[in-house]
Structures are given as structure tokens and as C-alpha cells.
Amino acid sequence: MRTIEWDEKKDSVKLIDQTLLPAEYKIVECKTSAELIDAIQSLKVRGAPALGAAGAFGVVLACINEKSKEDIKNRVERLKKARPTAVNLSYGANRALNAALRGRSTQEMKTNALEEAQRIADEDVAVNKKIGEYGSELLEDGDVVLTHCNAGRLACVDWGTALGVIRTAIEKGKRIEVIACETRPLNQGSRITAWELLQDKIPVTLIADSMSAAVMREGKVDKVIVGADRVVKEGVINKIGTYMHAVVAKAHNIPFYVAAPLSSFDRKRSYKEVEIEERSPEELIFFADKQIAPLEVKVYNPAFDFTPFELIEAVITEEGIFCL
Ligand code: MRU
């Protein structure tokens, strides 16, 4: 199934629980926007484009569970705040809410919101395929591509942005290998990217984040491709660690690409105006259930960082490649 879908029979959102991967593949169901907010905050569903679809389907849940337009709007405001950094969550929720508010009855509002949410989900898949078409031209047969976090199928409704570029290049007959950085502290790289690439039989080697400089100096990386949570005036906000890889790639003359849909663009805003989500200290003090740092240690745990355009060779979108 897709990463996130609407269940027509149960009037609920179905999603692949990404916190359990790779050990367990489980579908969870959200019947209320409160349950969906919990799934978003606990990263059961994550990745900017998937959050866009989640925001839109969340509006449908609000239309089902709330009685007045005012209550629906309040619910949607809470939903949009579930995670602050990826612009797609608000993008998807706003589109579905505007569609809902054009309805005159609660039934009409729900129908409108659902139609718009399905459109957003389908668009996401089509957009990723176009990103793949453009981006695959940048890859050569035999390339080894380093990626960070997960910008694949599971970060989107399907196919993926950064991993979509790799999938399309492989479809076109190019031999591509991937180096996946584990992406501490929540390991989206080792748990999700490595898993989904292996599902597709795409060759992947896992490294710790701290190994990227050494691996680049050893000449083992031809290109870097990552996704984006928000493309702003001066650069790209993405998973913490992205900036480090971009600096290192520049130092080794390795092209650093960002693959992102236009729905992740927020070009009027500066990175300084964007809230970078800070996550709980427990994510660094514990690994699974094992304590790995003193309980009383001070922790700084931002989930994202900012990479300026000077370090980025090009941004790959559904409308083409923007060289910087
Ligand atoms: O905290 P996450 O797992 O939601 O962070 C996801 C990322 O940073 C992805 O790289 C980004 O959303 C792009 S996904 C196509």
C-alpha cells in the first residue's frame, strides 16, 4: 500500500507505522485528528510530502468528528502545529480546509475535503515521478550516491524524492549504488532508507553519520542527494546532519543535490523565521530502552538544520532542475 491512504469503508486514515520498521511492518488506523496528531508527533508518519497528505486527510477526520465550521477550523489549526518545520503539513491541511469550507453541509464539507486530499496524494506520486525524470539525468551509470535521512517512498505518498531520482535512474538502466547515512538520533536512514532500498533490491551500504567525510575523502561517493522539509529564501531546511554532509561534499568537489516538490517551497520566508523542531532529550539519552547518557546531562536536539544555496549544486523539482 501507499505510505498513507484513506480507508473508504472505515472512514479513517491508514498508515504504515514507520517507528516499527524494519523489524515489523504494521498498518495503523487513525479515526480522529487527535490520533493523527499523535501519529505525526511520534513519527509513525513522517517526511515532508507524506505530512502534506496527512494534513489533508486530517481535515477529512475533522469534518467527520466536528459539528461546526468553527470547530473544524480549530481542529485544523492544532493539526498544522503538530510538527512545525516541514511546510507541507500546512500546505496539505490548508488546501483540504479551503475545499471543505466551500461545502454547505457537514456531508458536503467532508466530501470536498476528501476529494482534495485524494488529489493531493495522487499529485504527490505524479510529482515524484517527474522529479525522478529530471533528476535521473544528473546520474551516470555506475554512480554511488550518498543520502541522508529518508526521502523515499515512506517519506512521500509513494516513489520518493531523493530516492525517486535513484529509482528512476535504475529504471532507465543505470547501475546506481546508495550509501545511506544512519541519521541519528532516530535512525530514519538505517531503519527506513536501508529497508525500502533493500525491498527494491537497490544496492545500499549503511554508514554512521560521522563517516561521511572519510568516505568522501576515500573517493567512494560520486553525488549526494537529499530531500527537503522547506526550501526558503536562502537555502534548504532538512534533517539534522544535512548541512554537515553539504559542507563536506563542497570540500571534496562532490555535487550536492536537493530533490523537492514545489509544495515544499516557502521562498518568501528566511530560514531565520522558520521554527526548527526541538525534540525530547530522551531521544539522545536512551537508545530504544537502553540508557546511553547520564539522565541529568543537558541535551540539545534540533530535528533539522539549514544548508545555504552556496553549498547546493541544484534543486530538482517537478518543473525542472534549478542550478544554483
Ligand atoms: O523527522 P523526519 O523523519 O520527518 O524528517 C524527514 C526529513 O528530513 C526528510 O529528509 C524530508 O522530509 C524530505 S522527505 C522527501
CA–centroid distance, residue 149 to ligand 1 (Å): 6
Residue 188 alpha carbon, nearest atom of ligand 1: 3
What integer pLDDT is reported at residue 288 of this predicted model? 85
Q: How far is CA 154 from CA 19, 51, 93, in A?
A: 11, 11, 19
What integer pLDDT is reported at residue 287 of this predicted model? 93
User: pTM above the 0.85 mark?
Assistant: yes
Is the pLDDT score of 105 beyond 90?
yes
Encode pLDDT of 266-324 as tens digits: 999 999 999 999 999 999 999 989 999 999 999 999 999 999 999 999 999 999 999 87
Encode pLDDT of 38-54 as tens digits: 999 999 999 999 999 99
Contacts of 154 (CB under 8 A, 6+ apart): 3, 16, 18, 21, 46, 47, 50, 160, 192, 196
Mean pLDDT, range 130-151, rounded to an integer? 98
Q: Are 14 and 4 in contact (CB under 8 A)?
A: yes
Residue 148 alpha carbon, nearest atom of ligand 1: 10
What integer pLDDT is reported at residue 108 of this predicted model? 96
Residue 51 alpha carbon, nearest atom of ligand 1: 4
What integer pLDDT is reported at residue 141 of this predicted model? 98
CA–centroid distance, residue 310 to ligand 1 (Å): 21
Mean pLDDT, range 73-97, rounded to an integer? 97
What integer pLDDT is reported at residue 161 of this predicted model? 98
What integer pLDDT is reported at residue 256 of this predicted model? 98
Cα–Cα distance, 289 to 87 (Å, whole number): 32
Mean pLDDT, range 9-28, rounded to an integer? 98
Closest residue (by CA) to atom 8 of ligand 1? Answer: 239
Cα–Cα distance, 22 to 129 (Å, whole number): 25
Mean pLDDT, range 250-261, rounded to an integer? 98
Task: Band the pLDDT of 155: cuts 50, 70, 90.
Answer: very high
Residue 7: strand, helix, or coil: strand
What integer pLDDT is reported at residue 62 of this predicted model? 98
Tell me the pLDDT of the chain averaged across its residues. 97
DSSP annotation of 149 reads S
Test site for ligand 1: of 188, 224, 236, most ligand atoms within 8 A of the Cβ: 188
Residue 304 alpha carbon, nearest atom of ligand 1: 8
- Which domains are delineated in the chain? 4-128 (1.20.120.420), 138-323 (3.40.50.10470)
Is the pLDDT score of 208 beyond 80?
yes
Whether the upstream peptide bond of residue 185 has omega within 30° of 0, thus cis, is yes
Closest residue (by CA) to atom 6 of ligand 1? Answer: 47
CA–centroid distance, residue 155 to ligand 1 (Å): 6
Contacts of 287 (CB under 8 A, 6+ apart): none
Task: Band the pLDDT of 240: cuts 50, 70, 90.
Answer: very high
Choosing from 229, 266, 289, 305, the catalytic residue is 229
CA–centroid distance, residue 161 to ligand 1 (Å): 10
Is the pLDDT score of 211 beyond 80?
yes
DSSP string, 171-208: HTT---EEEEE--TTTTHIIIIIHHHHHHTT--EEEE-
What integer pLDDT is reported at residue 324 of this predicted model? 74
Q: Where are the beta strands (DSSP E) in the chain?
A: 4-7, 12-16, 27-30, 144-147, 177-181, 204-207, 223-226, 230-232, 235-239, 256-259, 286-287, 290-291, 304-308, 314-317, 320-323
CA–centroid distance, residue 182 to ligand 1 (Å): 13
Whether the upstream peptide bond of residue 22 has omega within 30° of 0, thus cis, is yes
Mean pLDDT, range 233-259, rounded to an integer? 98
Mean pLDDT, range 65-72, rounded to an integer? 94
The question of whether 38 is a catalytic residue gets the answer no
Encode pLDDT of 180-195 as tens digits: 999 999 999 999 999 9
Which residues does a 6 A CB cutoff place in the pocket of ligand 1?
A: 43, 46-49, 86, 149, 151, 155-156, 161, 188, 227-229, 238-239, 303
Residue 308: strand, helix, or coil: strand
Closest residue (by CA) to atom 15 of ligand 1? Answer: 151
